[in-house]
């Protein structure tokens, strides 16, 4: 099948690469000429495990190509995916101007029937706006599909190749059949394609992300109570996660969620409710709890060094909003670092993939280290902010030797408190009591 994907970001590039991997001929269109030129030369603009190999292999096999010309993509395709960004406006409303712009370009240039499928996360009702816009600009027949993505950054290729579900929102039953054919290679063991109307498909995306974000915010809210009562959030997580009605996923307390999906979609759903005069107090609370969790953890670090902040250097491990990505958009790690810098702290940070994107965001205020252990040299504490695998089993002896004070703040609960304490550290995590080495129980931190 011949496919066009407009927008070469996380969603667009993963969609294009994975569809090409199953034998389709895919043309990718983006207005960024520099990005297109780089991709044609084999340079992948984002870090996503497994994506580079797929893109390079299918580019070499000529099943995947990149261009700035939307007409070129349309002339060589039946299905056109719109995969452009929909950032939040000042009032939380999703900005769908890029979606409408692409839809208008498609309408003005298509000369034969196309299925136009939106991958971008858009508010309920966008299907009508896009359909009405295209009809106002062309007499060429088309069908519209709402086909939301459910990809996790850091596991997007795996999610696309082995989806839990694929939602297709269309009014024409024949379009469902065509989309079934396109996605058949990804559903050999079980049919995971769910057909519905476009409005329900648009709502399903927002509802799914809000449900997952709610689980995370609930656990983070409980973690604060655990710290006050002496309960252990990890024990609580195992206790409730064993209930089959609840399940174990998305129950890890920590710094909260970030990235391009959950925060934006919560704001978008709250805005949609306001627009339709439906109060959304739970959605707003989930978002606020997430922000509060980030501030609460950063304040624990700042409070520890409150009397000597301008003379304090912290080593930070992790800047991306989660492991296996270089994305720092709305990253809880970056939010914490910004609070440290605003308070006068010196921050020396390391991330396996996000050093460049974080430096571009924070500028010269942030010192970047070549590796995690270099970041420790002369620092007063280690602060772990992203759950990369390489941080999970570090050399505690080396960490202790490099730090000025044996203090670790773990915003991702990567370590067992008793083990870290035995290694000679003062250890602070989320939703668990602090742990102290027997050798330093009487030690008073500098300036306290």
Domain edges within the chain: 2-195, 197-448
**Mean of the pLDDT values across residues 430-443?**
77
| pLDDT beyond 50 at 445 | no
Q: What is the pLDDT of residue 39?
A: 95
| Contacting residues for 102 by C-beta, under 8 A, at least 6 apart | 6, 7, 70, 82, 84
**Mean of the pLDDT values across residues 401-410?**
97
Is residue 257 within 8 A of residue 412, CB to CB? The reply is no
At residue 278, the 3 state secondary structure works out as coil
**Mean of the pLDDT values across residues 378-401?**
97
**Mean of the pLDDT values across residues 113-129?**
97
**Mean of the pLDDT values across residues 417-421?**
96
Q: What is the pLDDT of residue 439?
A: 63
Q: What is the pLDDT of residue 96?
A: 97
pLDDT in tens, 8-22: 999 999 999 999 999
Give the rounded percent of residues in the chain with a pLDDT score beyond 90.
94
Strand ranges across the sheet with 407-410: 367-368, 346-350, 313-317, 381-384, 407-410, 426-428, 435-436
Q: How many CB atoms lie within 10 A of CB 396?
A: 17
- Cα–Cα distance for residue pair 256/291, rounded to 1 Å: 8
3-state DSSP helix/strand/coil percent for the chain, to nearest 5? 45, 15, 40
| Contacting residues for 87 by C-beta, under 8 A, at least 6 apart | 94, 95, 264
**Fold agreement between 2-195 and 197-448:** yes
**Mean of the pLDDT values across residues 300-316?**
95
> Two tokens at 263?
């925060």
pLDDT in tens, 263-294: 999 999 999 999 999 999 999 999 999 999 99
Query: What is 2-195's CATH topology?
Result: Rossmann fold (3.40.50)
Selected catalytic residue, list 4, 18, 28, 261:
261
Closest C-alpha to 111, from 133, 136, 139, 81: 139
Q: Which CATH architecture has domain 197-448?
A: 3-Layer(aba) Sandwich (3.40)
Helices (H), 162-277: 173-183, 198-229, 233-241, 262-275
Q: What is the pLDDT of residue 47?
A: 93
Q: What is the pLDDT of residue 444?
A: 41
Q: How many CB atoms lie within 10 A of CB 260?
A: 20
Give the rounded percent of residues in the chain with a pLDDT score beyond 70.
98
Is residue 17 within 8 A of residue 46, CB to CB? The reply is no
Give the phi and the psi of residue 150 in degrees, each rounded to 5.
-130, 60
Q: What is the pLDDT of residue 200?
A: 98
Q: How many CB atoms lie within 10 A of CB 359?
A: 18
The 8-class DSSP code of residue 83 comes to: -
| pLDDT beyond 70 at 302 | yes
Establish whether 261 is a catalytic residue.
Answer: yes
At residue 188, the 3 state secondary structure works out as coil
Q: What is the mean pLDDT of the chain?
A: 95
pLDDT in tens, 173-189: 999 999 999 999 999 87
**Mean of the pLDDT values across residues 360-373?**
95
Handedness of CA 208, 212, 213, 215 (dihedral sign): positive
Q: What is the pLDDT of residue 188?
A: 84
| pLDDT beyond 50 at 333 | yes
pLDDT-based confidence at residue 438 (cuts at 50, 70, 90): confident
């Amino acid at each position: 099948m011949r496919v066009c994907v407009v927008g070469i970001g996380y969603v667009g590039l993963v969609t294009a690469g994975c569809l090409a991997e199953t034998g389709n001929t895919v043309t990718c269109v983006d207005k960024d000429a520099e990005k297109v030129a780089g991709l044609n030369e084999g340079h992948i603009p984002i870090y996503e495990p497994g994506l580079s190999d797929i893109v390079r292999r299918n580019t070499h096999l000529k099943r995947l190509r990149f261009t700035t010309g939307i007409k070129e993509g349309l002339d060589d395709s039946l299905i056109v995916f719109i995969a452009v960004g929909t950032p939040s406006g000042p009032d939380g409303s999703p900005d769908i101007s890029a979606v409408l712009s692409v839809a208008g370009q498609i309408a003005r240039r298509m000369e034969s029937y196309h299925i136009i499928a939106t991958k971008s996360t858009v508010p309920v009702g966008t299907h009508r706006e896009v359909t009405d816009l295209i009809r106002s600009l062309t007499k060429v027949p088309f069908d519209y599909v709402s086909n939301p993505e459910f990809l996790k950054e850091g596991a997007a290729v795996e999610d696309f190749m082995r989806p839990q579900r694929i939602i297709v929102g269309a009014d024409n039953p024949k379009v469902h059949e065509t989309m079934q054919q396109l996605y058949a290679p990804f559903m050999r063991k079980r049919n995971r394609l769910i057909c519905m109307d476009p409005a329900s498909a648009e709502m399903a995306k927002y509802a799914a992300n809000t449900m997952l974000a709610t689980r995370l915010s609930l656990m983070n809210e409980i973690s604060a109570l655990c710290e006050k009562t002496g309960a252990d959030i990890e024990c609580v997580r195992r206790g409730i996660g064993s209930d089959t009605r609840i399940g174990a996923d998305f129950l890890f307390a920590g710094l909260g969620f970030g990235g391009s999906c959950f925060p934006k979609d919560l704001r978008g759903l709250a805005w949609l409710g306001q627009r339709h005069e439906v109060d959304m107090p739970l959605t707003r609370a989930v978002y606020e709890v997430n922000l509060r969790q980030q501030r609460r953890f950063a304040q624990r670090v700042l409070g520890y060094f409150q009397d000597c902040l301008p003379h304090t250097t912290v080593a930070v491990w992790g800047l991306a909003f989660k492991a296996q990505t270089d994305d720092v958009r709305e990253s809880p790690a970056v939010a914490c670092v910004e609070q440290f810098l605003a308070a006068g702290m010196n921050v020396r940070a390391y991330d396996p993939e996000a050093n460049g994107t974080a430096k571009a965001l924070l500028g010269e205020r942030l010192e970047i280290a070549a590796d995690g252990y270099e970041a420790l040299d002369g620092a007063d504490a280690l602060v772990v902010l992203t759950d990369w695998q390489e941080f999970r089993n570090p050399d505690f002896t080396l960490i202790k030797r490099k730090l000025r004070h044996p203090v670790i703040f773990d915003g991702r609960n990567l370590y067992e408190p008793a083990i870290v304490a035995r290694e000679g550290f003062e250890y602070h995590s989320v939703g668990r009591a602090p742990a102290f080495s027997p050798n330093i129980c009487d030690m008073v931190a500098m300036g306290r």
